[in-house]
Amino acid sequence: MSSATSDLYHLDWNRFYAPVFCMVFHASMALFLSIRLTKSWRQPRNGLVSKIDPLGIRRWLGVAPVY
């Protein structure tokens, strides 16, 4: 790899691609986690935790029914 190609690659990645990728990635993860957390903290209709899912993990993943 020539010096010019290496410098161009590092310049483009450090100055543009990496910050843009990190911003998009963190924004999407924050949106996903905020949706999941607001869903997980919603209480079941009868106020009881399922015996099948005592820790609420399946409900947090969205695969358990809301009782």
Contact 67, 45 (CB under 8 A): yes
**pLDDT tens per residue, range 15-51:** 677 778 888 999 999 988 887 776 655 555 555 555 5
* Tokens at 62, concatenated: 């969205």
The model's pTM? 0.37
Residues near 65 by Cβ (< 8 Å), separated by ≥ 6?
A: none
Q: Where are the chain's structural domains?
A: 3-61
Higher pLDDT, 7 or 26: 26
Q: Cα separations (Å) of 10 from 5, 14, 17, 23?
A: 9, 6, 10, 18
